[in-house]
C-alpha cells in the first residue's frame, strides 16, 4: 500500500537526502547528490524499484517517531506485544562518501526484526551484481557501488534479487547497519563507526541550531523549518534545492509531476530574508554567492533555475518504467521550464542583492556591474509577455506579478544608487523605468469594477501572487486597491480554508489538464497580507491552521488537498518552509516583511 506523502520523514547529509516511511522503509534516495539518479525509487514505483525496509517482523507502522532535539536524526519507535524497539536513522555530514546509518536499539522485552534491501540503480531500472567482500554485501552496476554491513553481523541472505536479514534485539542491545556509496572504480571506502558518527551528528546539529537568534512565538516550528532548509542546502556550493524529490504529483493520478531537485531564483529573496532574520549569516552569504555565480554571463541567458553548482542544462525526460506515485505518470527528470522566459526573476535577483546589501553582507566587487547588466536587459524586455512565476505551459501572458517584479528591479536599483551615489549608474533612467512600469500595471492590470489586480492584463482571473504587491512595496498596505485584492483573492481562490495559486477549472492558463491542491506558500502570503492590512487576528488564525498541516515531524509538501486531507507535490518543499519562517517572523514583528 502506498504511503501518503506526509508519512515520510527526511534525513540528509547536506548533499543529498532520503525519505523514511512510517513503516521503516527508505523509499527514496539519490546518490551521491540530490540530482543524481535514485537507487531507492519505490516512492515513484514499487518495491521492485528499490527500497530498504528495517522494522519489526510483524510489519506494522511505527508507534511514534520524532527528530532528536533540533537535529535531522530520526527516531522511530515500535511497541509490539513482545517488547519495544527503536530505530535511529541519519546521514552523517560526509567526509568523502555518502552514508546512511540505521541503528536498532532494544528498549524493553525482545523484538524480532527483519530487513529487506533492494538496490536498483538509475531510478529503479538497473539490478546490480551482488557479492560478499570483507564483511560487506557489495552491489555494483556501472559507475555505482554500494557497500552494506551490520555491527555486529546478523544473519543475511539473498532472496528474489534482494538482501534480507533477520535478528532479535533485547533491552539494551544494539545492531547498526551502514550503507556506503562510492564510485565503483575506487577501493573500498574506509569504515566509519556508526555510534561515534551519531554522537558527532547530534553535536553538529546542536551547534548549528544554537546559532538561531529567533526566540519568538512558534520557535520550535520555525527551527524545524530552518533545519529543513539547511537539509535542502547543497553544502559544497550553498545552493538550496526546491525539494529533494521529483514527480510527486500536484494532482493524484494526473500529469502535473515535475522535477524539483534544482535551485530556483524565485526562492532567492525569501531565502535571504529567512536566513538573515534568523541569524544564519554564513548560509545567507553562501546562497548570495551561489546566486552571483549562477546568474553570471549574458543577461539574455538568465534562467529561472539552475543545477546545484549553477549548471544550466537540465533537459527534461520521462522514465516509463516507473508507474508514478499513486499511478501519477509520467515520472520526469530534468525540467523544461528552465528554458522559459520569466521576467519576475530579474526582480527577485535585484531584490536579493538589495536585501544582502542592507543586511551588511560583505559586498562582492563585481555584483553591482552584474546587476546593472541584468537591469539593462530587463529595460528592453519588460513589456513582453512571459510564462510567469507559475511556469505555465500555455501561451505567454502579460502577468501582473511579472510586471510588478520588473518594477521591483528598477526600484531596488534606485534605492541602491540613492544610498550610495558613488556607484556607477543612471538613477534618473531607472526612476523613469520604475514609474512607467508602475503606471502600466495600475492601468492594465487592475480591474476597477471588482477593485482587484488580476492575473494578467485584460484577464478576469485572479492570482495569489498579487498578494505580494504590498510586501514588495509596489503599493502601501492601506491602499484600497491592495485591500480589495486581498479580499478578492481570498474569496475567489479559497478552498477548504486555504488558497489555490489560480483557477485550474475550465480553460486553464497553464495549458495542462486536471487540477491541483491548495498551494501552501500562497496561504502564508495571505497571512502576511492580512497582517499588513491590519487584520492580524485573522492572519494569526490562518497561520495556526497552516501549522496544523505539518506532519508529525514538522514537514510540509508543496500543496495540500483539503478534501482528501493529504499532502500533494514534491516534499518537503523549500517554498512552503520559507513561507512558514517568514510569516512567523512577520507576525512576531521581527521579520523583514510586514
Contact assessment for residue 295 and residue 374, using Cβ atoms and an 8 Å cutoff:
yes
* Backbone angles phi and psi of 483, in degrees to 5: -60, -40
> Sign of torsion, CA 501 505 508 513?
positive
pLDDT at 400 over 50: yes
* Residue 105 CA, distance from chain mean position: 32
Q: What is the mean pLDDT of residues 476-487?
A: 98
Rounded to whole angstroms, the Cα distance separating 392 from 410 reads: 25
Residue 51's pLDDT is what?
A: 98
Rounded to whole angstroms, the Cα distance separating 71 from 481 reads: 44
Residue 133's pLDDT is what?
A: 86
pLDDT at 1 over 60: no
Helix (H/G/I), strand (E/B), else coil: 487: helix
Q: What is the pLDDT of residues 25-81, one digit of tens each?
A: 999 999 999 999 999 999 999 999 999 999 999 879 999 999 999 999 999 999 999
Smallest CA-to-CA distance from 103 within 14, 33, 169, 13 is with 169
DSSP 8-state code for residue 345: H
Please give the C-alpha separations between residue 102 and each of 21, 38, 116, 194, 395, in angstroms, as whole numbers.
13, 19, 13, 8, 49
Residue 188's pLDDT is what?
A: 80
Percentage of residues of the chain with pLDDT beyond 70: 98
Q: What is the mean pLDDT of residues 133-145?
A: 91
Q: What is the mean pLDDT of residues 520-540?
A: 98
Contact assessment for residue 114 and residue 156, using Cβ atoms and an 8 Å cutoff:
no
pLDDT at 505 over 80: no
Residue 436's pLDDT is what?
A: 98
Residue 593's pLDDT is what?
A: 37
pLDDT at 440 over 60: yes
pLDDT at 507 over 80: no
Cα torsion through 507, 512, 517, 519, rounded to 10: -100
Percentage of residues of the chain with pLDDT beyond 90: 88
CA 289-572-338 angle, to 5 degrees, is: 55
Rounded to whole angstroms, the Cα distance separating 515 from 346 reads: 29
Smallest CA-to-CA distance from 268 within 249, 251, 284, 247 is with 284
pLDDT at 592 over 90: no
pLDDT at 135 over 90: no
Cα torsion through 323, 328, 331, 335, rounded to 10: 180
Contact assessment for residue 48 and residue 59, using Cβ atoms and an 8 Å cutoff:
no
Rounded to whole angstroms, the Cα distance separating 236 from 213 reads: 25
Q: What is the mean pLDDT of residues 543-561?
A: 98
> Sign of torsion, CA 334 335 339 343?
negative
DSSP 8-state code for residue 570: S
Helix extents (H) in 364-453: 367-381, 400-419, 427-444
Residue 562's pLDDT is what?
A: 96
Rounded to whole angstroms, the Cα distance separating 143 from 239 reads: 25
CB atoms within 10 A of CB 185: 8
Q: What is the mean pLDDT of residues 338-363?
A: 92
Residue 591's pLDDT is what?
A: 56
pLDDT band, residue 96 (cuts 50/70/90): confident
Residue 442's pLDDT is what?
A: 98
pLDDT band, residue 590 (cuts 50/70/90): low
pLDDT at 240 over 50: yes
Q: Considering the chain, what is the average pLDDT of its residues?
A: 94
Smallest CA-to-CA distance from 533 within 452, 579, 467 is with 467
339: CB partners within 8 A, 6+ apart:
303
Residue 483's pLDDT is what?
A: 98
Smallest CA-to-CA distance from 263 within 35, 93, 567 is with 35
Residue 504's pLDDT is what?
A: 65
DSSP 8-state code for residue 468: G
Q: pTM for the complete prediction?
A: 0.96
Domains and CATH numbers, the chain: 5-197 (2.70.98.50), 209-342+451-588 (1.50.10.10)
DSSP 8-state code for residue 88: E
Residue 54's pLDDT is what?
A: 98
Q: What is the mean pLDDT of residues 309-335?
A: 96
Residue 455's pLDDT is what?
A: 96
Residue 134's pLDDT is what?
A: 81
* Backbone angles phi and psi of 559, in degrees to 5: -135, 170
pLDDT at 594 over 50: no
Smallest CA-to-CA distance from 101 within 26, 5, 9, 182 is with 26
Rounded to whole angstroms, the Cα distance separating 492 from 364 reads: 44
Rounded to whole angstroms, the Cα distance separating 336 from 273 reads: 28
- Which H, E and C letters describe 211-276, residue by residue? CCCCCCCCHHHHHHHHHHHHHCEECCCCEECCCCCECCCCCCCCCCCCECCCEEHHHHHHHHHHHH
Amino acid at each position: 500500500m502506498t504511503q501518503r506523502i506526509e508519512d515520510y520523514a527526511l534525513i540528509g547529509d547536506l548533499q543529498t537526502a532520503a525519505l523514511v516511511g512510517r513503516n521503516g522503509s527508505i523509499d527514496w534516495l539519490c546518490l551521491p547528490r540530490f540530482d543524481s539518479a535514485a537507487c531507492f525509487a519505490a516512492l515513484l514505483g514499487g518495491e521492485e524499484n528499490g527500497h530498504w525496509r528495517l522494522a519489526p517482523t510483524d510489519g506494522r507502522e511505527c508507534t511514534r517517531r520524532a527528530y532528536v532535539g533540533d537535529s535531522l536524526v530520526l527516531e522511530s519507535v515500535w511497541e509490539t506485544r513482545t517488547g519495544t524497539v527503536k530505530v535511529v536513522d541519519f546521514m552523517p555530514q560526509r567526509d568523502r562518501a555518502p552514508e546512511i546509518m540505521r541503528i536498532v536499539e532494544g528498549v524493553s522485552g525482545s523484538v524480532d526484526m527483519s530487513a529487506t534491501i533492494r538496490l536498483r540503480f538509475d531510478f529503479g531500472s538497473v539490478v546490480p551484481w551482488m557479492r560478499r567482500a570483507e564483511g560487506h554485501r557489495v552491489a555494483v552496476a556501472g559507475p555505482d557501488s554500494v557497500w552494506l554491513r551490520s555491527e555486529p553481523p546478523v544473519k543475511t541472505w539473498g532472496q528474489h534479487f534482494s538482501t534480507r536479514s533477520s535478528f532479535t534485539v533485547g533491552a539494551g542491545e544494539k545492531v547498526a547497519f551502514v550503507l556506503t556509496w562510492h564510485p565503483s572504480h575506487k577501493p573500498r571506502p574506509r569504515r566509519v563507526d556508526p555510534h561515534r558518527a551519531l554522537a558527532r551528528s547530534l553535536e553538529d546539529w546542536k551547534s548549528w541550531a544554537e546559532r538561531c537568534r529567533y526566540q519568538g512565538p512558534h520557535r520550535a516550528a520555525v527551527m524545524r523549518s530552518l533545519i529543513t532548509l539547511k537539509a535542502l542546502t547543497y553544502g559544497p556550493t550553498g545552493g538550496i534545492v526546491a525539494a529533494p524529490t521529483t514527480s510527486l504529483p500536484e494532482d493524484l493520478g494526473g500529469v502535473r509531476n515535475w522535477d524539483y531537485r534544482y535551485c530556483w531564483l524565485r526562492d532567492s529573496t525569501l531565502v535571504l530574508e529567512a536566513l538573515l532574520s534568523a541569524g544564519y549569516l554564513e548560509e545567507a552569504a553562501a546562497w548570495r554567492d551561489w546566486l552571483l555565480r549562477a546568474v553570471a554571463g549574458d543577461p539574455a541567458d538568465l534562467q529561472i533555475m539552475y543545477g546545484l553548482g549553477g549548471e544550466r542544462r537540465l533537459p527534461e525526460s520521462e522514465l516509463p518504467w516507473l508507474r508514478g506515485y499513486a499511478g501519477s505518470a509520467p515520472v520526469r527528470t530534468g525540467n523544461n521550464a528552465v528554458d522559459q522566459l520569466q521576467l519576475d526573476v530579474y526582480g527577485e535577483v535585484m531584490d536579493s542583492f538589495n536585501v544582502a546589501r542592507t543586511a551588511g553582507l560583505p559586498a562582492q566587487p563585481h555584483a553591482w556591474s552584474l546587476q546593472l547588466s541584468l537591469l539593462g536587459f530587463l529595460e528592453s524586455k519588460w513589456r513582453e509577455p512571459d510564462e510567469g512565476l507559475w511556469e505555465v505551459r500555455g501561451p505567454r501572458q502579460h502577468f501582473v506579478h511579472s510586471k510588478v517584479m520588473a518594477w521591483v528591479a528598477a526600484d531596488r536599483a534606485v534605492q541602491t544608487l540613492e544610498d550610495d551615489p558613488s556607484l556607477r549608474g543612471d538613477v534618473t533612467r531607472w526612476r523613469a523605468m520604475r514609474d512607467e512600469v508602475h503606471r502600466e500595471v495600475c492601468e492594465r492590470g487592475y480591474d476597477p469594477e471588482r477593485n482587484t489586480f488580476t492575473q494578467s492584463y485584460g484577464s478576469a482571473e485572479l492570482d495569489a501572487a498579487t498578494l505580494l504587491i504590498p510586501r514588495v512595496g509596489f503599493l502601501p498596505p492601506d491602499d484600497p486597491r491592495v485591500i480589495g485584492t486581498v479580499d478578492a483573492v481570498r474569496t475567489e481562490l479559497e478552498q477548504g480554508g486555504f488558497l489555490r495559486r489560480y483557477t485550474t477549472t475550465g480553460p486553464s492558463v497553464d495549458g495542462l489538464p486536471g487540477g491541483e491542491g491548495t498551494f501552501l506558500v500562497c496561504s502564508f502570503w495571505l497571512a502576511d497580507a492580512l497582517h499588513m492590512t491590519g487584520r492580524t487576528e485573522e492572519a494569526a488564525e490562518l497561520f495556526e491552521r497552516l501549522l496544523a498541516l505539518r506532519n508529525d515531524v514538522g514537514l510540509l509538501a508543496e500543496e495540500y488537498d483539503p478534501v482528501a486531507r493529504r499532502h500533494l507535490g514534491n516534499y518537503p518543499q523549500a517554498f512552503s518552509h520559507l513561507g512558514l519562517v517568514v510569516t512567523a517572523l512577520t507576525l512576531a514583528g521581527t521579520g523583514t516583511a510586514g
